[in-house]
Amino acid sequence: MIQLFATDYGCTFQSDQDRCFYLHFQGREMAMSVCSLIAFKKKVDSIDLVKLLTDESDYSDVALLSTCQREAIFLLSIREIIDLKELLSGTLVMLELNSILHQQLNCGIS
Amino acid sequence: MKDLMRQRTSIKPEIIDILNEQVRIEATASAAYLAMAAWCDQHGWDNSADHFYTQADEERMHMLKLFRYVSDMGAAAISPQVGEVQHDFSTLKEVFETALDNEIHVTESINKIVVACRNANDFATESFMQWYVQEQVEEEYVARRAVELFDIMGDSGMDLILIDERIPKIVYQEAGAGAEGGEEA
């Protein structure tokens, strides 16, 4: 397995053998396809941090989030949400970079 | 390290997002035309109502075409949530003016997708979107011609009846496809 990106709270890996990604977060490991990873990132990105920070209700500092196939549900604190946002966007950047490298090596497009 | 992202989907996340947004815009346009059709029906403008029912079908077809493309490319197509659309209008002219505004909004949105595709070197999606670019020429033409009828003929009682009769006759013909583009006699 190749590590793609790591933050304080979690990290992501790619497995060429299983043809999927692994997300390590809150002590759990979840396998995700590309599609699931992108969909999960979209969910995380859609969490409105400003709204969470300014909301004065008792449930304001946490968010409940499920993965694409509802294999796992996360209860995330604000710090964890920020960390997860960073982890997933960092992972996507690494994947984009890998795509560019493949394109350059295979096609020699300059 | 394999390029898994490329293996599973040939479009980039940012392009998936804007295509899904366009799916929502087309669905909203379809719903908006249905509301216009209902208003026209309610006020006795049969031909205009038929026109908007047809437009609503077309917009839904545009939405499905995009939806299938996103799905076929290995990405997650999102079934759109359609928000509130305008149901009430003061005049028949306002209905057609709103339709024209909608079409301009759709065209601008499609142009943005083409620009994004170019920036992302996504030639397949850009090529796919060319159909929409061309389709919008027709859509805008029909909407604009309808609004122009009000300028030419006025908007009193009898004028409106004549306009309603002429609405089905507005057809766009591409240059070089036989007769010149324009309203049929």
Give pLDDT tens digits for B146-155.
999 999 988 8
Confidence at B75, pLDDT banded by 50, 70, 90: confident
| Residue bearing tokens 């709103």 | B98
Q: Which residues of B are less than 8 Å from A92 in CB distance?
A: 13
pLDDT, tens only, B8-57: 777 888 899 999 999 999 999 999 999 999 999 999 999 999 999 999 99
Say which residue, B184 or B154, is predicted with more confidence.
B154
Q: What is the pLDDT of residue A58?
A: 67
B81/A contact by beta carbon, under 8 A? no
CB nearest B4 (choices: A34, A92, A96): A34
Mark yes or no for CB contact A19/B4 under 8 Å: yes
Mean pLDDT, rounded, of chain B: 90
Q: Which residues of A are less than 8 Å from B119 in CB distance?
A: none
Q: Which residues of A are less than 8 Å from B8 in CB distance?
A: 33-35
How much is the average pLDDT of A83-98?
Answer: 94
| CA distance to partner chain A, nearest, from residue B24 (Å) | 16
Minimal-distance CA residue of chain B relative to A34: B5
Of A26-40, A77-91, B13-27, least confident by mean pLDDT is A26-40
Total-model pTM:
0.80
Cβ neighbour number for residue A98 with a 10 Å cutoff: 19
Q: Over the range B73-96, which residues count as b (16 or more CB within 10 Å of their CB) and which as e?
A: bbbbbbebeeeebeeebeebbebb
Alpha-carbon span A103 to B74, nearest angstrom: 19
Q: Which of residues 118-147 of B touch A (CB under 8 A)?
A: none
For an interface test with A, give the residue of B4, B8, B72, B122 to mutate (most A CBs within 10 A). B4
Alpha-carbon span B184 to B171, nearest angstrom: 7
Task: Name the token pair of A101.
Answer: 């490298």
Mark yes or no for CB contact A92/B75 under 8 Å: no
Q: What is the pLDDT of residue B178?
A: 59
| CA distance to partner chain B, nearest, from residue A36 (Å) | 8
Alpha-carbon span A26 to A20, nearest angstrom: 20
| Residue bearing tokens 């805008």 | B140
ipTM: 0.76
Residue B22, Cβ density class (10 Å: 0-12 exposed, 13-18 middle, ≥19 buried): buried
Minimal-distance CA residue of chain A relative to B17: A42
Reported as type and span, the H/E element at residue A28 is: strand A28-32
Alpha-carbon span A33 to A14, nearest angstrom: 10
Distances (CA, A) of A7 to A10, A37, B108: 5, 17, 39
Q: Which residues of A are less than 8 Å from B13 in CB distance?
A: 38, 41, 92
Alpha-carbon span B83 to B85, nearest angstrom: 6
Question: Does the pLDDT at position B185 exceed 50?
Answer: no
Q: What is the pLDDT of residue B174?
A: 77
Q: What is the pLDDT of residue A87?
A: 97
Question: Does the pLDDT at position A103 exceed 70?
Answer: yes
Q: For chain A, percent helix, then strand, then coil, each to nearest 5?
A: 45, 30, 25
CB nearest A102 (choices: B3, B8, B75): B3
Q: What is the pLDDT of residue A35?
A: 84
Alpha-carbon span B113 to A84, nearest angstrom: 29
CB-based contacts of B61: which residues, under 8 Å, 6+ apart? none
Mark yes or no for CB contact A102/B6 under 8 Å: yes
Question: Does the pLDDT at position A36 exceed 50?
Answer: yes
Distances (CA, A) of A77 to A36, A62, A74: 22, 5, 10
Task: Name the token pair of B88.
Answer: 């009430």
pLDDT, tens only, B121-174: 899 999 999 999 999 999 999 999 999 999 998 888 888 899 999 999 988 887
Question: Does the pLDDT at position A3 exceed 80?
Answer: yes
Mark yes or no for CB contact B6/A39 under 8 Å: no
Q: What is the pLDDT of residue B179?
A: 52
The C-alpha angle with vertex A34 and arms to A30 and A36, in degrees rounded to 5, equals 55
Task: Name the token pair of B79.
Answer: 């079934």
Residues shown for chain B? 185
Q: Which residues of B are less than 8 Å from A21 in CB distance?
A: 4
Q: What are phi and psi of B133, to 5 degrees?
A: -60, -45
Q: What is the pLDDT of residue B3?
A: 85
